[in-house]
Amino acid sequence: MKHKLLLFSFIILSCGVEESEDNLINNDQFSVSDNSSTENSTANNASSNNSQQSESSTYLGTNCKEVSYSSKPDPDYVNGDYSYYTYGWQSDGTDQNSCVNAYNGVTTFGVDLVNAVLSDAKEKLGQIVPVNTWIFHTQNSDIKTICSDYSPFTDDSSCFDLQQMAAATVTQYVLHNGGEFKLSEIFWSDEEQNGAGYKVAYHEFFHIHQNSHKFYFEETENFGINMTQFRNVDENQGVNLVGPVWLEEGGAEFAGVWYSSLKGWVNYNEYWINYLDEARSVISDAASRVDIVSLRDYETRYSIQRVESSENPTGTSREFAYAYSGGGLAHLYLISKGFTDLNNSMIEYYMNIAELEREHIGEGYIYAFEEYFGMPLDSFYTEFDDFMLKPREEQLSILGLE
Ligand SMILES: [Zn+2]
């Protein structure tokens, strides 16, 4: 069982948010998406601006495997750097659509697993965009069939390779078509895998939750896209609008384990004890090279690259995935200590991130963290780094895992 947990803690590295985050950690077991998607999307968006303005976009209704819009719609209005949109699926109820698009080789168990997660997650977290799930078998599914269905959902008619992956995204380029996630057989083909497939699917849905709310303004019931800030984040290597990578991945991991454990799909204590040991190992292994681990090192894919590769100043990469293990434990720590709770950390932070980002461009997550996780982010880094150096027994006690 331990072996399987470890295996899955490697596999989750390949899950991705936004465009190229799949690549944020070099995973030598699985390569995930090509790293050209960000550049492609940016270039395509810039070059197609003119043609998009001349052809008008039509709302087609929202159905499984079908795009909602004939092309990218024009904004309702523009204010400063923000373009604001109201989408057809907001008013016809199809923002609640969850589609499981399954292809040859996908088992009934796999389809049922994804359906069970989509349904439970919608109830627990809410859903504000339609979701298409692409579920396939790397050997037995037909790439041509998948790509002919999938590529209309991209802004550049691209597709993806049939390799092992769990990835989820809501992007500024195709927000009008909702959110999506992709899942290959490694996550659902083994029914004896201790529920890990459920947890991974939940983790991916949570990325859709996070990345849909970063655009959404509850008060005006519309979506705002600040392309300038997206470019800044890319160019300045800044923190994603949702927040630091450890918060994005750790939040998804916390949600995956917590909500899956409520359904009896996974063992909560076993997961977190395993993650604690994994995180402690990252720290002690790095310490042997006088490489001091801080959660702060895991804020962006670039900062992670600097410590989890030979770019590390010591010349040796840290053990992988502290953004997931440490990031998940950070949630557990703040909840156990009473600084935050499930509602604030899983819902309110994300509901308010778009608004706080608009008030404090580039720093929305800093304000949201202090408000909904209960302490200033800088103070938290110091406190959590100290916590991670405490004796294991004391950590288990603080985290309520005894
Ligand atoms: Zn993830």
pLDDT of residue 194: 66
pLDDT of residue 50: 42
Residue 8 alpha carbon to ligand 1 centre in Å: 13
**Based on the domain organization, do 143 and 186 belong to the same domain?**
yes
Residue 9 alpha carbon to ligand 1 centre in Å: 11
pLDDT of residue 370: 98
**Based on the domain organization, do 134 and 211 belong to the same domain?**
yes
pLDDT of residue 6: 37
Q: Let me know: does 87 contact 59? Beta carbons within 8 Å.
A: yes
pLDDT of residue 23: 29
**Which residues have beta carbons under 5 A from ligand 1 (an ion)?**
15, 249, 252
β-pairing, 179-183 vs 131-135, is: parallel
Q: Which domain holds residue 253?
A: 248-398
Residue 279 alpha carbon to ligand 1 centre in Å: 17
Residue 305 alpha carbon to ligand 1 centre in Å: 16
Produce one character per residue of 168-188: b if its CB has 16 or more CB atoms within 10 Å, e if not. bbbbbbbbbbbbbbbbbbbbb
**Based on the domain organization, do 255 and 224 belong to the same domain?**
no
**Based on the domain organization, do 178 and 292 belong to the same domain?**
no
pLDDT of residue 28: 27
**Based on the domain organization, do 235 and 252 belong to the same domain?**
no
pTM for the model stands at: 0.88
CA atoms within 13 A on the CB side of 363: 8
Q: Let me know: does 173 contact 155? Beta carbons within 8 Å.
A: yes
What is the DSSP secondary structure assignment for residue 238, as one 8-state letter?
Answer: -
Q: Which residues of the chain have pLDDT under 70?
A: 1-55, 191, 194
Residue 19 alpha carbon to ligand 1 centre in Å: 12
* Cα–Cα distance measured from residue 130 to residue 134, given in angstroms and rounded to the nearest whole number: 13
Quick: pLDDT tens for 279-329: 999 999 999 999 999 999 999 999 999 999 999 999 999 999 999 999 999
Give me the number of domains the chain comprises. 2
Residue 17 alpha carbon to ligand 1 centre in Å: 6
Residue 33 alpha carbon to ligand 1 centre in Å: 14
Residue 401 alpha carbon to ligand 1 centre in Å: 24
Quick: pLDDT tens for 238-253: 899 999 999 999 999 9
**Based on the domain organization, do 323 and 211 belong to the same domain?**
no
**Based on the domain organization, do 222 and 264 belong to the same domain?**
no
Helices (H) and strands (E) in the chain, counts: 17, 8
